[in-house]
């Protein structure tokens, strides 16, 4: 094994979470700060908890709502256009007869 190519290993690195939980584990960094740990993660707690940083969830919901509205308006526009076309075709056929 070559010397001086591996990072220093800290067997008692302190890991602290945003929820306030902290524990010790081995790492190449002396301190680690995380947003989610096993004490606050929904998989381990069984509770649904949205971590909204910079309004990301709200922005997504707004975009999804706009998309639904635009789909509805597109279908309404298509139906109106189709009705106009069929009406014109019927009128044009009546004139030719």
User: Residues annotated in the binding site, as ranges?
Assistant: 17, 19, 37, 40
Q: At 52, which helix (H) or strand (E)? A: none
Residues of the binding site for Zn(2+): 17, 19, 37, 40
d(CA 14, CA 11): 9
Give 18's contacts (C-beta < 8 A, 6+ positions apart): 33, 34, 35, 36, 40
């Amino acid at each position: 094994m070559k010397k001086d190519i591996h990072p220093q290993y800290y067997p008692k690195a302190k890991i602290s979470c945003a929820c306030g939980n902290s524990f010790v584990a081995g790492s190449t960094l002396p301190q680690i700060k995380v947003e989610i740990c096993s004490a606050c993660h929904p998989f381990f707690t069984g509770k649904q908890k949205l971590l909204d940083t910079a309004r990301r969830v709200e922005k997504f919901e707004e975009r999804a709502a706009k998309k639904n509205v635009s789909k509805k308006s597109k279908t309404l526009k298509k139906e109106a256009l189709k009705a106009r076309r069929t009406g014109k075709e019927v009128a044009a056929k009546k004139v030719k007869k």
